[in-house]
Chain A
Amino acid sequence: DTAVSQTPKYLVTQMGNDKSIKCEQNLGHDTMYWYKQDSKKFLKIMFSYNNKELIINETVPNRFSPKSPDKAHLNLHINSLELGDSAVYFCASSQGTGQQPQHFGDGTRLSIL
């Protein structure tokens, strides 16, 4: 039933490790996003894919690499994790133009030790 699902919900790991977060949507949407929410709750776009094509790539370290195997999935791989990567990462999806609301997953809380 879940419209946008992310796994895992919590991720605790050490500096320097590589980790991935997975996202799947069953809404039939053509656009998916990754947002980062910092400790002050500020939400910022990282990436956006439309029909598996990258359309937004904000100023994000190249240690972050999104991958979209199909329209329903958008994964986020992070290499060489740093303390500053600790945050909540949200996946979202929408259909069509910017007037369509985005549907969010429950987030993945990443903690770097």
Chain B
Amino acid sequence: AQSVTQPDIHITVSEGASLELRCNYSYGATPYLFWYVQSPGQGLQLLLKYFSGDTLVQGIKGFEAEFKRSQSSFNLRKPSVHWSDAAEYFCAVGGYTGRRALTFGSGTRLQVQP
């Protein structure tokens, strides 16, 4: 069965500092990996996705993520955090046809200090 672990429940960074959110997955084959962001009272917005090919993927809002098969990781990074990035971030893994639902990690809450 597929699973996702986000080891950090809560992270606080200063505005302008760099950010890395960790995500580890468990899946039998090459997974489809996603990062979503949820602002308070809102739905989930897709930041970026990985299916195959280049292991460094670029997303919206200046985010990027790197797929590392050897470490079963898909960490999200941003070089300089803005106050508006404060939100809940979810890593998710998707399966192949027939099991299309996403399996989500437990989320990481990001706080940004001025």
Binding site for B on A (CB under 8 A): 4, 31, 33, 40-45, 48, 50, 55-56, 90, 92, 94, 97-99, 101-107
* 25 A-B pairs (CB sep. < 8 Å): A31-B100, A33-B100, A33-B101, A41-B107, A42-B106, A42-B107, A43-B44, A43-B90, A43-B107, A44-B104, A48-B100, A56-B99, A90-B44, A92-B44, A94-B100, A97-B96, A98-B32, A98-B99, A99-B32, A104-B45, A106-B42, A106-B43, A107-B41, A107-B42, A107-B43
Tell whether B17 is near chain A: CB-to-CB under 8 Å: no
A101 and B34 contact, Cβ closer than 8 Å, known pairs A42-B104, A56-B99: yes
Tell whether B83 is near chain A: CB-to-CB under 8 Å: no
Number of B interface residues in the complex (CB < 8 A): 28
Binding site for A on B (CB under 8 A): 32, 34, 36, 38, 41-46, 49, 51, 88, 90, 94-104, 106-107, 109
Q: Say whether chain A's binding surface is mostly helix, strand, loop, or mixed.
A: strand
Q: Which residues of A contact B44 (CB under 8 A)?
A: 43, 90, 92, 104
When the two chains form their complex, are residues A98 and B104 in contact, meaning their CB atoms are under 8 A apart?
no
Q: Which residues of A contact B102 (CB under 8 A)?
A: 43, 45, 102
- Complex CA gap A46/B96 in Å reads 18
Tell me which of A48, A94, A98, A106 has the highest count of chain B C-beta atoms within 10 A of its own C-beta.
A98
- Complex CA gap A90/B49 in Å reads 20
Q: Which 7 A-B pairs have the closest CB atoms?
A: A45-B101, A104-B43, A98-B94, A43-B104, A104-B44, A106-B43, A97-B97
- Complex CA gap A4/B46 in Å reads 13
Report the minimum CB–CB distance from A2 to chain B (whole Å). 10
When the two chains form their complex, are residues A56 and B100 in contact, meaning their CB atoms are under 8 A apart?
yes
- Complex CA gap A50/B41 in Å reads 28
When the two chains form their complex, are residues B32 and A55 in contact, meaning their CB atoms are under 8 A apart?
no
- Complex CA gap A105/B41 in Å reads 11
Report the minimum CB–CB distance from B31 to chain A (whole Å). 9
